[in-house]
Chains A and B, each alone.
Chain A
Amino acid sequence: MHAIQQQYWAVRDYLSPVLKESKFKEDGRITPEEFVAAGDFLTYKFPVWSWEAGEASRTRNFLPTDKQYLITRGVPCLRRATSLAYTDEERLLSIGGGKDEDEWVETHTGRSHAGGPEEVGEIDDIPDADDQDDVTHGMGNLSLNGGKSAEPADIPDIDDIPDMEEEDLEGEDDAAVAAPVKPAASKVIDASSEIEPAKGNLLQVRTYDVLITYDKFYQTPRLWLLGYDENRNPLTPAQIFQDVSADHAFKTVTIEPFLHSSTLQAASVHPCKHASVMKKVIERMNAGLQEEQAKKLGASAPKDKSGKKWPFRKPSGPNAKDQPAGDDEDDGGMRVDFYLVVFLKFIASIVPTIEIDSTTSF
């Protein structure tokens, strides 16, 4: 069933025309050119983001070959969204003001917490305990000067590997371990007794690779997630859903083949609502901005270039080239460059615990 659906989407995507005219102010959709412009701005302002070319066979011809999608790697995620209190979530949505939240949340009323993976939430306790353990343990090892190398205080493995596989792994491991460790033992243990490698870095933090592609059918950016657990194993879909706010898990977030790879599967936030939400967010921000401007109008010159025309710092210094939209759009409103920055703020409400929004300092 899913396969058929995906075929259908592929065909629909193929048939749908490339958006030519700028529509982002009217309905929140953007053209590929605007996507590139916004992406350029994002990568410039926030160098954690970069353009990727993807697989050559999957290149989409309406985008420059070296700018097929955006990626940022290793985005930390400290807690599970399912463990967030509901109020937190609403606070996180506050970007467009009260009214917006309601609208956005209301579009997904069936907020059943059931069905979501429930066995989570305790992960956040672990880092502290662990850190201490490791430090003391590391010290212990040092003074003992010898002994078995490093059996870090058995981490309670609430870890996500299903039991079955764990057994598998163990069985296979033991056999494989014994052989190599023994011969190397003299060296390895010697060494570790002298210099116990720092242990504090046992992280209990999930990380995500976050990718943004351009969705041709919906004419919006589309977000993809590839997750790793604290041991840097890839996350399963169920685990990824733990990091998606309950309103959106299983509804707008699904696992799908990644556009720019022939084999890769990734969790994706379905873009069907992006345009309308983005439109509302943009409108609201613009409205707020205009009010502010109106207030300021008496005091400061309206064409104040370095002024806070928009709640982001404009590219400052020797980078005038990064203002392709020009200053003639002073008629109030967001330049399309900011689209992805705003988009990330909106996405942050769907995946509240993934620190995707590196733009908060603005």
Chain B
Amino acid sequence: MTIVQFSPFTSLVEPGFWHSLTDLKIDVLKLADHSVPVTASYTAGRSIVDRETGNEIALGCNVTVGADSFTDKPHIPTHSVLAPGTFKNYNTIEEFKAADKTSLFNELTDEIWESITKGSTEKLSKFLVITFADLKKYKYYYWFAFPAFVAKPAWETDGEWRNASEEFSKENLTAIHMVLHSSPRAFFLVRPSGSTLEVGAVEDFDSFFDEVPAEKRTIAFLDPSALPNNPGWPLRNLLAYLAHRHPSYAASGIRVLAWRDTELSSDGHWKSRFGVVTGSFSVQDTGAKPGTVGWEKNPQGKLGPRVADLAPMMDPTRLADQAV
């Protein structure tokens, strides 16, 4: 048995987000520093074959915020799903440093856990971002947190994650692709239906899997990871959800499909992974919120905020210099 290692979410902030933040700060928030809803998106993990070495290089497990993340109806890039978030900006660097991050984080995890106990998957990937914007210097300090519930004992797999095409036929995978192509889902259920597969919402677990034997039930999620043996971060909370909502199923082994084929590759190669996850993790006894992790590490690999320096791209004097 191997412990399942999840590939953590990493934040990718488009410059447009900082521009929107600047506008928001100056025109709307001004000196207020209350929490504001924000929306990010993520899509299936991508990898690229290095033309020189032939190695396949996995790209990041990215959550992207962009220019319209503060709007009510953010534009969703193709094949992406939305992740809701909480945004909090501080007026000074001192406040930013002194912020009570633990309580912010706990508030958020309480909220996520509550939504799990209510049976909703909407907030499973909810995140937190705190910022300080040094508008004069075009520098933005920020720190993302992607809360995940810790399973004790940890989830395990009975061996390797396999290519999904070893478990499902091409036709079946194509069927899933067709469904998700028109309406991407972050989490979904898969059951056989005759020779093909059907896709349903995780919330409808009981009715959807009512007459399906356990060995035919498959839980799937849009996987932002591209690493062969590491499913992406969203699975962690999904497993916690299952452990809480459907403990008997969770204990017997969860068939997990890590969906990565948002685009069909021309050579007929499937990228999705499949594995059976087991664990004796149970929250049923108390129903209390499990432990949580999730602050993003900075480029140095430490837990700490990151900084985006946009002066080279925004500062008029520096732009003038390079435009000779």
Q: Do residues A152 and B293 form an inter-chain contact, with CB atoms below 8 A?
A: no
| Residue B310 is within 8 A (CB to CB) of chain A in the complex | yes
Name the prevailing secondary structure of the A interface residues. Answer: mixed
Known A197-B6, A197-B7: A165·B309 in contact at CB below 8 Å: yes
B236 to chain A, nearest CB (A): 8
Residue ID in chain B nearest A79 by CB atoms: B52
Mark B211-254 against chain A: 1 for CB-CB distance below 8 A, else 0.
Answer: 00000000000000111011001000000000000000000000
Known A53-B75, A179-B97, A255-B322: A200·B58 in contact at CB below 8 Å: yes
Known A173-B298, A231-B299, A237-B322: A78·B78 in contact at CB below 8 Å: no
Q: Which residues of B contact A261 (CB under 8 A)?
A: 16, 19, 67
A266–B12 Cα gap in the complex (Å)?
17
B40 to chain A, nearest CB (A): 13
Q: Which of B67, B292, B306 contacts A233 (CB 8 A)?
A: B306
A6–B175 Cα gap in the complex (Å)?
51
Q: Which residues of B contact A194 (CB under 8 A)?
A: 3, 150, 152-154
The size class of the interface chain A forms with chain B is 35 or more
| Residue A175 is within 8 A (CB to CB) of chain B in the complex | yes
Q: Do residues A76 and B309 form an inter-chain contact, with CB atoms below 8 A?
A: no
Q: Which residues of B contact A50 (CB under 8 A)?
A: 77-78
Residue ID in chain B nearest A138 by CB atoms: B5
A228–B13 Cα gap in the complex (Å)?
9
Known A198-B230, A205-B48: A188·B322 in contact at CB below 8 Å: no
Q: Which of B8, B150, B322 contacts A238 (CB 8 A)?
A: B322
A198–B97 Cα gap in the complex (Å)?
28
Mark A219-260 against chain B: 1 for CB-CB distance below 8 A, else 0.
Answer: 000000010100111101110000000000000001100000
| Residue B50 is within 8 A (CB to CB) of chain A in the complex | yes
Mark B267-283 against chain A: 1 for CB-CB distance below 8 A, else 0.
Answer: 10000000000000000
Q: Which of B230, B291, B312 contacts A191 (CB 8 A)?
A: B291
Q: Which of B55, B58, B154 contacts A203 (CB 8 A)?
A: B58
Q: Which residues of B contact A322 (CB under 8 A)?
A: none
A353–B19 Cα gap in the complex (Å)?
28
Q: Which of A76, A198, A200, A238 contacts B48 (CB 8 A)?
A: A76
Q: Do residues A264 and B15 form an inter-chain contact, with CB atoms below 8 A?
A: yes
Q: Do residues A180 and B78 form an inter-chain contact, with CB atoms below 8 A?
A: no
A154–B22 Cα gap in the complex (Å)?
34
Residue ID in chain B nearest A189 by CB atoms: B293
Known A205-B57, A234-B310, A237-B313: A74·B62 in contact at CB below 8 Å: yes
| Residue A33 is within 8 A (CB to CB) of chain B in the complex | no
B130 to chain A, nearest CB (A): 10
Q: Which residues of A contact B314 (CB under 8 A)?
A: 263, 265
Q: Do residues A180 and B303 form an inter-chain contact, with CB atoms below 8 A?
A: yes
A138–B60 Cα gap in the complex (Å)?
17
> Closest 7 CB pairs between A and B?
A198-B230, A236-B312, A2-B323, A180-B101, A231-B299, A152-B301, A176-B97
Known contacts A194-B154, A197-B233, A198-B229, then 17 further A-B pairs from the complex at CB < 8 Å, ordered by chain A residue: A78-B51, A128-B55, A142-B3, A159-B299, A179-B98, A180-B303, A188-B293, A188-B295, A191-B293, A194-B3, A195-B5, A201-B60, A201-B61, A201-B225, A203-B60, A233-B306, A355-B48
Q: What are 13 A-B contacts with C-beta separation under 8 Å?
A: A53-B75, A138-B5, A157-B299, A173-B304, A177-B304, A192-B293, A195-B5, A201-B60, A207-B12, A209-B14, A226-B15, A233-B309, A255-B322
